[in-house]
Structures are given as structure tokens and as C-alpha cells.
Structure 1
Amino acid sequence: MNTTEMIKRNNERRELLNKENLKVYEDAMIYIRLNARSEYATESILLELLEHLIEAQQHGKSAQDVFGDDLHAYCDALIADIPRQSKQSWLLDILRYTTLLFSTLFAVYTVVQLLSYFIPSLKTESISLLPFVVIIGLSGITILVVLYALKASIFGTKTWFILGIGVYLIAIGGYVYSTILFKGIWTVPINFWSCLAVTIVMFLLHQWFKRLSNKADLKLSRN
């Protein structure tokens, strides 16, 4: 199975767990996935762990019987055995999420341009390129903080989760403010068709980078 197939099977098989075991397993799953490790190897271990827990549950055992009293330490031990994500895969993931971000942004612009045919006040003739430079920097910092906050909140205080949400909202506010601050600077003309074209191109690039990243990750796991 490839990575996508393993994730799909994991989603299906998790439905066999009872409420208590599901909560424990999903905490472990999220914590392990948030580490910079090979995605293929990570999903292989998570699926194997799930099957082991399902079998134990069928014999009347709980997640605590399988993982022990210290789930945090158990997960850290598993993570230590998973190979780190390769630099090639890491770089491709950055490109993958950057193009997805731009695809999403221009999808919004496309919708606005379409609506402007019916609501003339929404018409925008040009956009500044500087806010996109700002959002690249903000998104990188935001992703790192949010991922760390999510990871820390699983076995620790929920304060980290609140901090992550706060940073995310600040990043959105920073982008909106930059569109106002840099209005009229480094502008390029836009219309419905140009926005639609950029959206499609960015989405296709996202899919391409995703395939390349999966190939690089699979190659690492098989070495």
C-alpha cells in the first residue's frame, strides 16, 4: 500500500475501536504524525499499531494495556525508530504547501472577480504583490508554531493550543493589514480569467509536488 491507501485504511479501521481506545489512539496518532519523519514509515507504524490495538480490544484489553501507563514515552520510543524526512521531501513539501496556499488565495480572488460581474463594487483591477511576500514569511512561522503548539497540547497544557490559535489569527490579520498597507505598490492587473488561470496552475503544481514528495519519501523508507 502507498501512503494514501494506508491513511484511508487507518480511517476505516479506527471505526472498530471503542470510545476510550479511540481517544488514546488518536492522541498517539496526532502526536506521532506531527514529527518531521518519513510519512510512509509513519503511516506504516500507525497502521500496525492500530491493528495491534484492535486485536487487543477483541481480547478484552484496553489501550493502557497495550501502550502502558506512559503514552508520551511510548510514542517517543516509536518516533525514535522512524527515519527522518529527507531534505528533498522536506523541500518538496514546502513547495507543495506554498502552491496550495496561493491556489486557495487566488481561488478567493476568482470568486470575488466572478461576483463583481453582478456586484460592481467588488471589482478589483489590480493587486499588490507585496502581501504575497508577507504571507510566505508569515505562513512559515505560523505553521511551525501551530504544529509545535498542537504537539505540546496533546500530553501537556492546552495553553499551547490557545497560543497556536492566537498566532494563526495574528497571521491572518497581518495579511489583511498588508493588503491595505501596500495597496497600489508593485501592482499587477487582474481579472476573472487571470485569477482562474493562476488558481489552476498553482493547484496542478501542488499535486505535482505532492507526488514528487511521496516518491522521495517512499524511496527513503525502502533504503
Structure 2
Amino acid sequence: MNIRQMIKENNRLQDAMTPDNLSYYQDMVVYIRSSAVQERQCEELLLEMARRLLDAQDKGKDAKDVFGNDLESYCKEQIERLPKRKGLSALQYHLMIPWIALTWFFFVQAIVGFVTMWAGGPVERMTQVRISTLILIAGGAYVLIHVLMKWMKSDAFKPEAAQRKISARNIGVYVAITVLILVAGVWLGRHLPVLVIAPWVSLFIFLIGLTGTKLLFSTK
């Protein structure tokens, strides 16, 4: 059974779970799939857990009877005994998100520039790129993605009511980060120069960034 077939079988098994058992199991799915376990071993573990849960369910038991009250500790214990994916180095890990964010920024910049040229619009304005904008895109993407990933993983084992409460707090944090980014952008924009980058140069930078993404951040 390949990975796609295992995922399909996993979804089929989830359809047979009671709502409470399904809620517990899906929390474990989120946690395990976001771990560093190799993908095949990850799906094999999830299938094993789903089958164990359904066997217990047929005997009148629930997820707590099978996996205990501390699901996070249980999942950590299971993950530790499985082989891990080849990971990125610390430097690669910290550079990847800003690199990808800037790569696609220049793609958009190139497309907008070419469309503006085709439409006979103000090309000069479209070729202006503030250094402050590049810094904010790189830094903002890094902060938001890492914070989001951390909360997604930590919220998986919290009760639903607690998740709603934390979600409201998360919204406040996102708003605060957005305000800080805007304020920093205004301040940096007054002190840093503006670059003039033609659409074809933006496209070239995008292609370099795309190639670099495969060469620098591939784990294969």
C-alpha cells in the first residue's frame, strides 16, 4: 500500500469513528503529521492507531481508554521510536521562509511590471522597489509562519473551549504584529533607498530564487 492509498484508507476508517473518538484521533493526526517522522512511517502509525481505536470502539471503549488522557505524551512516545525525515540544518530552516517569500514577491513584481508595460501604464513606478519592503516581507513572513505553526501544533491537544479562547488571543497578536510591521515599514521607508528593478530583472531574480529553493532547501 502506497502513501496515497494509506491516506485514503485512513479517511475511510475515520468515517466509522464516533464524534468524540474522531475528535481525539484527528488531534493526533495533526500532531504526528506535523512531526519530523518519515512520511510512510507516519501514515503507517496513523493507520495502526485508527484500527486500534476502532477495535476498542466496537468493544464499547473510547479513545481515552486506548491512548490515555495525555495524548501529547502518547504521541511523543510513538514518534520517538520512528525514523525521522532528513531535516534541514538550522541555517536552512531559518532562511527558507524569507527566501521563498522574496522569491514569489519578485514573481508578482515581474508580472505586474509586464502587464503595466503591455497596458501602456506608468512602468517607472512599477519598477521601484523599496529595500524596506523587502525587509518587511522577509521578516514578516518568517514571524507569521513560525508563530502560526507553533500555535497549530500546541492547540491540537487543548479542549475546544480553550482553543476558541486562544484563537481570540491569536487574532489580537496577529493584529499587533501587523501594526508593528506597518509602523516599521513607514520608519524604514524614510531612511532606506529605493531600488529600480526592471520587470525582466525581477523575473530573472524569481528564477534564481526558484532554482535556489530546490538546491538549498531540498531534503532529498
* TM-score, normalised relative to structure 2: 0.70
| 2:28 aligned residue | 28
Q: Structure 1 residue 144: deviation in Å? A: 3.3
Q: Select which of 1, 8, 15 maps to 1:12.
A: 8
Q: Provide, for residues 139-194 of structure 1, a one-character-per-residue CA deviation record: whole Å limited to 9, x for no partner.
A: 33333332222223222222333444444455455555555544473222122212
- The 3 A distance-change label for structure 1 pair 34 and 197 is same
Separation in 2, partners of 1:168, 1:85: 31
Write out aligned runs for 1:48-197 (5 A).
48-56=44-52, 59=55, 61=57, 63-64=63-64, 66-81=66-81, 89-117=89-117, 118=119, 120=121, 123-156=125-158, 157-158=162-163, 159-172=165-178, 174-175=180-181, 178-183=184-189, 185-197=192-204
Separation in 2, partners of 1:167, 1:10: 38
- Conserved? CA contact 1:149–1:160, under 8 Å: no
Q: Provide, for residues 116-151 of structure 1, a one-character-per-residue CA deviation record: whole Å limited to 9, x for no partner.
A: 232725842321112322343333333333222222
Q: Provide, for residues 97-130 of structure 1, a one-character-per-residue CA deviation record: whole Å limited to 9, x for no partner.
A: 2221112222222232233232725842321112
Q: Provide, for residues 194-221 of structure 1, a one-character-per-residue CA deviation record: whole Å limited to 9, x for no partner.
A: 222222221221122332xx24xxxxxx
- The 3 A distance-change label for structure 1 pair 164 and 100 is farther
Q: For residue 93 of structure 2, what is the amino acid of its counterpart?
A: D
- Match of 1:155, SS state, is coil
Separation in 2, partners of 1:99, 1:10: 33
- Conserved? CA contact 1:128–1:186, under 8 Å: yes
Q: For residue 120 of structure 1, what is the amino acid of its counterpart?
A: G
- Match of 1:188, SS state, is strand
Q: Kindly report the root-mean-square deviation, in angstroms, between the aligned alpha carbons of the 2 structures.
A: 3.6
Q: Provide, for residues 44-80 of structure 1, a one-character-per-residue CA deviation record: whole Å limited to 9, x for no partner.
A: 4431222213433664736555423432332233345
Unaligned runs of 5+ in 1: 216-223
Separation in 2, partners of 1:131, 1:29: 38
Residue identity over aligned pairs, in percent, reads: 21
Separation in 2, partners of 1:82, 1:136: 34
- How many residue pairs are counted as aligned between the two chains? 205
